[in-house]
């Protein structure tokens, strides 16, 4: 096996919080037990193929800056094999249990659809062997239905049935590949499912077509016995001016409207929720409250820049807020924390890939420890219990059960008069959280 990362000869180790070694973990200690489960099993880290092995540092104003040794500019199967070797070496050196991919990340398009399928199948078989050798598993797979020119106007929402058919065929093989590799989930991110101008768009028709697309996916999964979880990933805009899967609530509405609710959960991405104008913990809670928290594409955005910056999730406070939601709702289930994040274009070295992932993993591990401590101490949960205590009995209990009515509530007011206004104690609670950081 070629060594693509000689600078980091051994897997990254946990050295504790006092280490000054920038290539060690300070918090992530995979086997450490937190609330009865290892950190590994809580966090279920995954490294993504696209940013980490396909992205070369280009941006809308500049060319590639990452000169990765696994690229030879042939876009060939041989190149894909080299990339795969590099990927598995990196997964192992980072010590993550999972990875994720789009079909076109791992294998190149061929001269026609049949050839593309053969390329994919070849790489999938090779991935299967590498997974077995390394113990690395597939968190989820997906199809790239947005980069190729044919998807300019969308895939499952394309105005042209021919393109729609192409997307369906491609999704079929991506689901099959995910199944073949034991993927625990399959993700739909609709990068071009949206529009540039409503003047040329029939939104309702496009959404109906997309619903049919997803029903076909459900049927196909059943047919082949794929029991992984289907996930939809919301994003409000970019690349299109307006994308259909804006945020968790929008996706849930779509799922309910088209009888798809039972088959899908949400793949939440923090940077997407902030683009939608929501604090991450809000959108995550919307999904979780509906029993639909599927997985997290762990990253962060820039609070001043209005596009997807896909930075590593190193904001400790933000991560604690996220882990509080995750722990409160019983963990990530079949999902995980997938680093849909990339080093800055100016972090041109291979070693920067390590720094970046260490930062993300350590920050999330630290957040797990902190969130669990907050939960264990119980102060925060008691505050919330107290705040809603009036709904536990009397008129409040009747309200909660949907057993009251306006006349009864008016009578209550006439008898009890003006309610007291109680402080929400926001500043005290924010100080409390800070005391754990």
Structure-block tokens of residue 113: 């659809």
Here the tokens at position 70 are 């696994």
Of the candidates 340, 261, 404, which has an alpha carbon nearest to the alpha carbon of residue 46? 340
Candidate list 42, 102, 272, 357, residue with the active-site label:
102
105 is catalytic: yes
* Phi, psi of 98, rounded to the nearest 5 degrees: -135, 160
Question: Cα–Cα distance between 299 and 271 in angstroms, integer?
Answer: 6
Residues 328-367 interacting with its own copies (rule: CB under 8 A): 343-349, 351-352, 355-356, 358-359, 362-363
* Strand residue runs (E) in 16-93: 33-34, 37-38, 45-48
Residue 99, both tokens: 């990875």
> Read out DSSP for 129-163?
HHHHHH--EEEEEE---SSSGGGTT-STT-SSHHH
Neighbour-count burial for 8-31, b at 16+ CB within 10 Å, e otherwise: beeebebeeeeeeeebebbbbbbe
Distance CA 43, CA 338 (A): 9
- The C-alpha atoms of residue 97 and residue 195 are separated, in whole angstroms, by 37
- Contact flag: residue 436 with its own copies (CB under 8 A): no
Considering the complex, state which of residue 57 and residue 97 has its C-beta at the smaller distance from its own copies: 57
Would you say the C-alpha torsion 268, 271, 277, 282 has a positive or negative sign? positive
Dihedral over Cα of 34, 38, 40, 41: its sign:
negative
Stretch that binds its own copies, among 73-81, 133-141, 331-339, 403-411 (CB under 8 A): 403-411
Of the ranges 4-12, 32-40, 262-270, 423-431, which one interacts with its own copies (CB under 8 A)? 423-431
Among 2, 75, 227, 405, binds its own copies (CB under 8 A): 405
Q: Which stretch binds its own copies (CB under 8 A): 5-13, 32-40, 168-176, 330-338?
A: 168-176
Among 78, 162, 225, 262, binds its own copies (CB under 8 A): 162
What is the rounded distance in angstroms from the CA atom of residue 108 to the CA atom of residue 126? 14
β-strand pairing of 194-195 with 137-142: unpaired
Site for its own copies in 86-125 (CB under 8 A): 112-114
- Which of the stretches 74-82, 89-97, 154-162, 331-339 binds its own copies when contact is defined by CB under 8 A? 154-162
Please pick, from the candidates 38, 75, 134, 305, the single residue that binds its own copies as defined by CB under 8 A.
Answer: 305
Q: Is 58 left (phi over 0), alpha (psi -120 to 50) or beta?
A: beta
9 belongs to the binding site for its own copies (CB under 8 A): no
Contact between 129 and its own copies by CB under 8 A: the answer reads: no
Which of residues 33 and 389 has its CB atom nearest to its own copies in the complex?
Answer: 389
- Cα separation, 91 vs 99, whole angstroms: 8
Residues 30-69 that bind its own copies (CB under 8 A): 57, 59-65
Active site residue 215: no
- In the numeric block, which tokens belong to residue 356? 């970046």
250 forms part of the interface with its own copies (CB under 8 A): yes
Q: Should residue 222 be labelled a site residue for its own copies when binding is judged by CB under 8 A?
A: no
Number of residues counted as binding its own copies (CB under 8 A): 155
Q: Which residues, including other chains, have CB under 8 Å from residue 129's CB and lie 6 or more apart?
A: none
Min dist. Cβ of residue 110 to its own copies (A): 12
CB nearer to its own copies: give 138 or 275. 275
Longest alpha-carbon distance in the chain: 81
If one asks whether residue 399 binds its own copies (CB under 8 A), the answer comes out as yes
Among 80, 138, 276, 364, binds its own copies (CB under 8 A): 276
- Binding residue for its own copies, selected from 1, 9, 78, 199, defined by CB under 8 A: 199
Nearer to its own copies, 80 or 168 (CB): 168
Between strands 337-339 and 293-297, the pairing is parallel
CB of 136 to its own copies, least distance (A): 23
Residue 299 CB, nearest approach to its own copies (Å): 13
Among 32, 290, 375, 436, binds its own copies (CB under 8 A): 290
Q: How far is the CB of 210 from its own copies (least distance, A)?
A: 10
Contact stretch for its own copies (CB under 8 A) within 39-47, 131-139, 262-270, 416-424: 416-424
> Which of 51, 103, 105, 362 is flagged as catalytic?
105
- Out of 321, 326, 364, 371, point to the residue binding its own copies (CB under 8 A): 321
Q: Is the peptide bond before 239 cis (omega within 30 degrees of 0)?
A: yes
Active site residues: 102, 105
């Amino acid at each position: 096996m070629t060594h693509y990362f000689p600078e980091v000869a051994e897997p990254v180790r946990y050295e504790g919080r006092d280490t000054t070694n920038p290539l060690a973990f300070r918090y992530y200690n995979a086997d450490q037990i937190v609330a009865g489960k290892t950190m590994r099993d809580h966090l279920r880290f995954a490294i993504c193929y696209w940013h980490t092995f396909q992205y070369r540092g280009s941006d809308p104003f500049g060319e590639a800056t990452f000169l990765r040794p696994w690229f030879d500019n042939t876009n060939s199967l041989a190149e894909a094999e080299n990339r795969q070797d590099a990927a598995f070496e990196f997964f192992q050196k980072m010590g993550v249990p999972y990875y994720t991919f789009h079909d076109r990340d791992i294998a190149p398009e061929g001269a026609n659809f049949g050839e593309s399928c053969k390329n994919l199948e070849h790489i999938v078989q090779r991935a299967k062997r590498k997974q077995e050798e390394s113990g690395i598993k597939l968190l989820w797979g997906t199809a790239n239905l947005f980069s190729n020119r044919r998807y300019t106007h969308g895939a499952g929402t394309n105005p042209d049935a021919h393109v729609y058919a192409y997307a369906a065929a491609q999704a079929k093989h991506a689901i099959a590949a995910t199944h073949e590799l034991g993927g625990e989930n399959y993700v739909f991110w609709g990068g071009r499912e949206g529009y540039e101008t409503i003047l040329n768009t029939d939104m309702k028709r496009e959404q109906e077509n997309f619903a049919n697309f997803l029903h076909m996916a459900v049927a196909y999964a059943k047919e082949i016995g794929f029991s992984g979880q289907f996930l939809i990933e919301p994003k409000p805009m970019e690349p299109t001016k307006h994308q259909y899967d804006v945020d968790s609530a929008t996706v849930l509405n779509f799922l309910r409207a088209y009888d798809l609710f039972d088959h899908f959960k949400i793949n939440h991405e923090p940077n997407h929720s902030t683009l939608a104008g929501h604090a991450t913990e809000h959108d995550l809670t919307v999904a979780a409250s509906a029993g639909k928290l599927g997985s997290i594409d762990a990253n962060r955005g820039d609070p001043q820049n209005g596009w997807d910056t896909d930075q590593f999730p190193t904001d400790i406070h933000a991560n604690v807020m996220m882990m509080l939601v995750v722990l409160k709702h019983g963990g990530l289930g079949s999902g995980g924390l997938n680093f849909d994040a990339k080093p800055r274009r100016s972090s041109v070295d291979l070693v920067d890939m390590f720094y970046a992932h260490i930062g993300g993993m350590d920050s999330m591990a630290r957040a797990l420890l902190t969130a669990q401590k907050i939960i264990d101490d119980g102060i925060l949960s008691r505050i919330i219990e107290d705040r809603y205590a009036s709904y536990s009995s009397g008129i409040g209990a009747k309200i909660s059960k949907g057993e009251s009515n306006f006349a009864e509530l008016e009578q209550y007011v006439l008898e009890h008069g003006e309610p007291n206004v109680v402080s929400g104690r926001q500043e005290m609670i924010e100080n409390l959280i800070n005391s754990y950081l």
